[in-house]
Chain A
Amino acid sequence: MTLQDLITSLSRFWAVRGCLIQQPLDVEVGAGTMHPETFLRVLGPQQWRVAYVQPSRRPADGRFGENPNRLFKHHQFQVILKPSPDAVQGLYLDSLRACGIDPAKHDVRFEEDNWESPTLGAWGIGWQVLLDGMEITQFTYFQQAGGIDLAPISVELTYGLERIAMHLQGVDDVYDLQWSAAVKYRTVRHQEEVEQTKYSFGMVDMPESEFSAYHRTLFDQYHHMAKTLIRSKLVLPALDMCLKCSHAFNILDASGGIGVTERAAYILKVRELAVAIAGAHLIGLDKEVPGVSQG
């Protein structure tokens, strides 16, 4: 099964089960959780089901396109079911079957792995799903987002698309994956991995100190605008700015421009934004006319 077939299979599987098929957020993020379809939708009482692919950037994981498993950018298939249905584990296993993985022929495990995002003020209880010892999905019952206790509880399923595709295709190097029947992953993405890694690690025609100062300034400017947007009650643009802060911070971190204490201070700043955005969004939800939830 090609990578694009895998995406199609998962999309079809979850669409049939009532999920809206959304599109990726067009801002750099580290995980599908940061998409408003997750971060904001899990807040408040409305029931909601959504699925989407989210390209996820992790500057520190960049390996110049040389590591067979690690990527600057990987792809997550993200599913949010709110509230979490009782049969969710069974549904999830059915989704694997739909992709051609028969759990009875493998060793599929749900091993404790609670998830926490300090920058989003979010945490949940759950597992990493292991397929013959390989982590293929993060399975989380959200408990808090933006520092707010959630009710009802949403479940988040985050599939690692590259890993599942590697398993299905039996390849050991991500760049050998068939993206489509005719085109390999290498052709689609290798150049991006090389260049983005160089950028993330500050290997550019600019002195190290200037590189780091530039990103600090970026962070501050995004931070300033995020605060402005929060005051102006523009929740979605504020979230964009908050995520841009987070990404600028990730680049600073990857390029070695931050010490440990400073690091904690940056995380706190992003978290404060996330908490304020979540709070502002909830106030907005209260004012909405009831009955907008999905049928």
Chain B
Amino acid sequence: MYKELLLEIGCEELPASWVPPLSEQLRTCIGIHLKEARLGFQTEPESFATPRRLVVHVARLAERQEDLEQTATGPSVQAAFDATGQPTPAALGFARKHGVAVGQLVQVQTSKGVYLSCRQKQRGAAARKVLAGVLAETLRGLTFKKQMNWDARLNDGRGEFLFGRPIRWLLFLFGGRVVPFVIERSGLALSRGVAPVRAGSLTYGHRFFGVDGKPGRPVRVKSFLEYEKALSQNYVLLSREKRRSRIESELKANAERVNGVVATETGESTLLDEVPDLVEYPSVVTGSFPKEFLALPEEVLKTTMIHHQHYFPVINKQADLTEHFLAVTNTPRDNVSAIARNSERVLVARLRDARFFWEADRSAALSSRLDRLDTLVFHAKLGSYLLKARRIEQLAGLVAREALGRVELAKNASRAALLAKADLTTDMVGEFPELQGVMGGIYAREDGECEAVWRSVYLHYLPIGVSVEAAPQPSDLGEARGCWAATSIADKLDTLVGLFHAGEKPRGARDPFGLRRQAHGFFRILVDLPELVGLKARPELGSLVSAAESVYEVSLSQEIIDRLYPFLLDRLRFVLEQRGHNVRNVRAVTQPLPSWRQIRPLDVRRKLEVLPEFTSSADFLQLAGLFKRVRNIAKELPEEEFGSVESGETEISDEPLESAEAHLIEELDRRRPKIEAVLDAGVDYRLAFAEAAGFGPAVDRFFTEVLVMVDNPFLRRRRLVLLKRLEELVLKLADVSELVKQK
């Protein structure tokens, strides 16, 4: 038999960003714990959430637990009875442990012989009896970004009960009847006004509005149907979808009334994703501000409205901001005009501040602010932001000229890099830290810097900015494409190399300087260079690091290098894995071989794009399978010996070749130029991998027919050199041994 389960956890206002994930957590969490408690359900749990309530409903939940059948195996029959057939202590002990007589044990045939076994059937308890335990587990199972102590305890043997916000009521019904449950309060807090929270059959509507104008009164419900009805009568839209669509349609209608359109945002989380979780009963009000504030930069207006006030800007048909804005309120529609007037006053006060900053900041050119950067410390061991600005000025030029091979970009890139941090001393950035970079770009534009320069400053934090994660679009970059890449790379490279040199390194969750994010941004530019900015350059990691070292006028110690490059490779792998590339493939193409310095992030990406076409081909898998052996044997050849052979100082044996040996040499001679041509050009890795796959049969035959480690040292060297050459060539593509499934 099945009955309805309804749980509502009544909270004080939860942070908006937590609401949708908590709803999902609650749904999965209760499902897991119901299953663990052997309570079957015919309908899947469905969950809902608003800032003040987390709700889960199971329309058909089993009234009883499933019965439990347990079988325990005891001693073998041989060990269980003595020669006279009497039970031994082993048998007696086993029976006692399970609370039965020896006579009730049965004999079972197993692969090891005949054993005594105890079969017990435990009848399932009524769901009502176990649901309290399910709720306790569920409450414990919800996780929060930050949880709080609110003097609560659970009677589940674990005591202290932390949660996201205080719980003020629990509605917990099974088959229309309350399931007893209590959240206790700590002894220190118990007092008049602090009481345990007991599950009941009551819910509460909107904080300020209710049916018949009586808000805040509890409403008794018996079923989900009644519950939904009680909420809708009392100004709560339980469905997030409904709240969101109501907001959307009201925004649209309100914008149309002032002949405008709601400005859409770009980015990962938008205001429209946030507001449905700030309210239980949304309405939209329209306000406006004096037109004179439209003279402020669009970015400042938008940040003030969107980020500081959660208001939606309204744009006109030409996509320009208008003096109108829309605010989502948590109220019915009838008292909106007073709210609109008050919202206007708050916004105008903020805009007035912003205008003050705008005018004050523009009283001096951005370049004249550089001196003030001297008072801002970038890092204790690396000096001020002024020093940083001077360094990246130089480094951006180097990156443009050498790493990107575009001399003509160097001048503007240097200029942009020099100015990039100057906005840190502006009042506007002091007030709106999320506009750093952006404001610098705007002020540079106002100062008459050329487009390549001001856009590079504007976007230099991307692709990992304060609030925007995405890489800039070609339309954002305009004439700044290559210049932006040089500036942005230089900034990140300076930070990474400098801070590692200063002994900083992310540890676990601690990354106070955001070095991981810096590295992600750095690689996200490098792996997409042609697509992002239309450059053909394929900079090597080592040359970039060396450029930064030369600007710092240091050379990193081996110890620092040994910390820096694994970090960089890890971050490169992370960026690639995030794009959905296979983890094993990513490892294969990011081995620091022959050195991490030679890794070209762009080539790594290109290899990865074609590698999946080969990882299931028979020849390629044959090579991959044998490659570990190639690498192991090749280790027998000392580096200096190989070096002297390759430089021609040491001759190799001219004893007759075995045919498999000759065959492999031929293959190597034939395929090597093709592979090397691809490596040089950095395009068409498909061809190179196809050539490499072709080594498979020849290597297999070589290992079958030829003994490498022969006594004759000359012969041995010749064969080792052959394998070493093969190894070096293939490693330039990938460490294919990484592609073999671990057994």
A interface list, Cβ under 8 A from B:
45, 47, 67-70, 83-87, 89-90, 93, 103-112, 114, 125, 127, 131-134, 141, 143, 149-153, 167, 172, 256, 259-262
Q: What are 24 A-B contacts defined by CB distance under 8 Å?
A: A45-B188, A84-B189, A85-B193, A86-B194, A90-B216, A104-B208, A105-B335, A105-B338, A106-B335, A109-B279, A112-B13, A112-B16, A132-B339, A132-B343, A133-B311, A133-B327, A134-B346, A143-B148, A151-B186, A153-B150, A167-B342, A172-B348, A259-B377, A261-B379
Shortest beta-carbon distance from A70 to chain B in Å: 8
Shortest beta-carbon distance from B373 to chain A in Å: 11
Binds A, one of B125-133, B349-357, B390-398: B349-357
Using a Cβ cutoff of 8 Å, how many contacts connect chains A and B? 124
What 1/0 flags go to B329-342 for Cβ under 8 Å of A? 11100010011001
> Which residues from A are CB-within-8-Å of B215?
104
> Which residues from A are CB-within-8-Å of B650?
none
Judged by a CB distance under 8 angstroms, whether B109 is at the interface is: no
Are B342 and A132 touching (Cβ within 8 A)? yes
CA distance A167 to B197 in the complex (A): 37
Are B342 and A106 touching (Cβ within 8 A)? yes
What would 8 more interface pairs be, CB under 8 Å, given A109-B13, A112-B16, A131-B342? A83-B188, A107-B327, A111-B16, A127-B13, A132-B343, A132-B346, A149-B149, A261-B377
> Which residues from A are CB-within-8-Å of B335?
104-106
Most B C-beta atoms less than 10 A away, residue of A152, A256, A261: A152
Judged by a CB distance under 8 angstroms, whether B541 is at the interface is: no
CA distance A39 to B551 in the complex (A): 49
Are B329 and A87 touching (Cβ within 8 A)? no
Are B278 and A111 touching (Cβ within 8 A)? yes
Residue of A86, A132, A151, A172 near B193 (CB, 8 A) is: A86
CA distance A114 to B343 in the complex (A): 23
Shortest beta-carbon distance from B636 to chain A in Å: 53
> Which residues from A are CB-within-8-Å of B349?
68-69, 172
CA distance A153 to B151 in the complex (A): 7
> Which residues from B are CB-within-8-Å of A70?
353
Judged by a CB distance under 8 angstroms, whether B12 is at the interface is: yes
Are A261 and B380 touching (Cβ within 8 A)? yes
What 1/0 flags go to B188-216 for Cβ under 8 Å of A? 11010111010000000001110000011
Cβ < 8 Å to A, chain B residues 29-87 = none
Shortest beta-carbon distance from B260 to chain A in Å: 20
Judged by a CB distance under 8 angstroms, whether B96 is at the interface is: no
Shortest beta-carbon distance from A236 to chain B in Å: 24
Shortest beta-carbon distance from B395 to chain A in Å: 22
Are B168 and A106 touching (Cβ within 8 A)? no
CA distance A96 to B518 in the complex (A): 47
CA distance A111 to B308 in the complex (A): 12
Judged by a CB distance under 8 angstroms, whether B166 is at the interface is: yes
> Which residues from A are CB-within-8-Å of B98?
none
Are A107 and B356 touching (Cβ within 8 A)? no
> Which residues from A are CB-within-8-Å of B279?
109
Residues A172 and B12 in contact in the complex (CB < 8 Å), given A86-B168, A151-B186, A152-B151: no
A131, closest chain B residue (CB): B342
Judged by a CB distance under 8 angstroms, whether B375 is at the interface is: yes
Are A152 and B189 touching (Cβ within 8 A)? yes
CA distance A167 to B349 in the complex (A): 13
> Which residues from B are CB-within-8-Å of A261?
377, 379-380
> Which residues from A are CB-within-8-Å of B123?
none
Are B353 and A69 touching (Cβ within 8 A)? yes
> Which residues from B are CB-within-8-Å of A87?
193
Judged by a CB distance under 8 angstroms, whether B309 is at the interface is: yes
Shortest beta-carbon distance from B396 to chain A in Å: 24
> Which residues from A are CB-within-8-Å of B186?
151-152
CA distance A103 to B16 in the complex (A): 21
Are B377 and A260 touching (Cβ within 8 A)? yes
CA distance A45 to B186 in the complex (A): 11
What 1/0 flags go to B361-399 for Cβ under 8 Å of A? 000000000000001110110001000000000000000
B309, closest chain A residue (CB): A133
Judged by a CB distance under 8 angstroms, whether B643 is at the interface is: no
Are A134 and B342 touching (Cβ within 8 A)? yes
Are A47 and B339 touching (Cβ within 8 A)? no
Residue of B188, B209, B346, B376 near A260 (CB, 8 A) is: B376
A149, closest chain B residue (CB): B149
Shortest beta-carbon distance from A99 to chain B in Å: 15
Residue of B165, B194, B338 near A125 (CB, 8 A) is: B165
Judged by a CB distance under 8 angstroms, whether B230 is at the interface is: no
> Which residues from B are CB-within-8-Å of A172?
345, 348-349
Shortest beta-carbon distance from B296 to chain A in Å: 17
B193, closest chain A residue (CB): A85
CA distance A90 to B279 in the complex (A): 18
Judged by a CB distance under 8 angstroms, whether B15 is at the interface is: yes
Which 4 A/B pairs are nearest by Cβ-Cβ distance? A85-B193, A132-B342, A112-B15, A152-B189
CA distance A103 to B335 in the complex (A): 11
Shortest beta-carbon distance from B184 to chain A in Å: 13
Are B208 and A108 touching (Cβ within 8 A)? yes
Are B168 and A107 touching (Cβ within 8 A)? no
Are B13 and A110 touching (Cβ within 8 A)? yes
Are A89 and B208 touching (Cβ within 8 A)? no
Judged by a CB distance under 8 angstroms, whether B347 is at the interface is: yes
Are A111 and B13 touching (Cβ within 8 A)? yes
A144, closest chain B residue (CB): B149
A17, closest chain B residue (CB): B193
Residues A133 and B343 in contact in the complex (CB < 8 Å), given A68-B349, A109-B278: yes
Judged by a CB distance under 8 angstroms, whether B146 is at the interface is: yes
Residue of A132, A143, A167 near B149 (CB, 8 A) is: A143
CA distance A112 to B146 in the complex (A): 12
> Which residues from B are CB-within-8-Å of A108?
207-208
CA distance A125 to B162 in the complex (A): 12
Are A83 and B194 touching (Cβ within 8 A)? yes
> Which residues from B are CB-within-8-Å of A125?
146, 148, 165
Cβ < 8 Å to A, chain B residues 267-283 = 278-279
> Which residues from B are CB-within-8-Å of A131?
342
Are B191 and A47 touching (Cβ within 8 A)? yes
B206, closest chain A residue (CB): A104
Shortest beta-carbon distance from A150 to chain B in Å: 7
B385, closest chain A residue (CB): A260
> Which residues from A are CB-within-8-Å of B14?
112
> Which residues from B are CB-within-8-Å of A89?
12
Shortest beta-carbon distance from A104 to chain B in Å: 5
Are A153 and B149 touching (Cβ within 8 A)? yes
Shortest beta-carbon distance from B234 to chain A in Å: 13
Residues A110 and B352 in contact in the complex (CB < 8 Å), given A152-B189, A259-B376: no
A265, closest chain B residue (CB): B380
CA distance A85 to B15 in the complex (A): 21
CA distance A103 to B14 in the complex (A): 19
> Which residues from A are CB-within-8-Å of B207?
93, 103, 108
Residues A83 and B12 in contact in the complex (CB < 8 Å), given A105-B338, A107-B330, A125-B146: no
Shortest beta-carbon distance from A183 to chain B in Å: 24
Shortest beta-carbon distance from B597 to chain A in Å: 33
> Which residues from B are CB-within-8-Å of A256?
375
> Which residues from A are CB-within-8-Å of B348?
172
> Which residues from A are CB-within-8-Å of B327?
107, 133
Are B16 and A107 touching (Cβ within 8 A)? no
Most B C-beta atoms less than 10 A away, residue of A86, A125, A150, A172: A86
Are B194 and A151 touching (Cβ within 8 A)? no
> Which residues from A are CB-within-8-Å of B151?
83-84, 151-153
Residues A83 and B208 in contact in the complex (CB < 8 Å), given A89-B12, A107-B330: no
What 1/0 flags go to B173-197 for Cβ under 8 Å of A? 0000000000000101101011101
Are A67 and B353 touching (Cβ within 8 A)? yes
> Which residues from A are CB-within-8-Å of B194?
83-86, 152
CA distance A105 to B340 in the complex (A): 12
CA distance A259 to B339 in the complex (A): 43
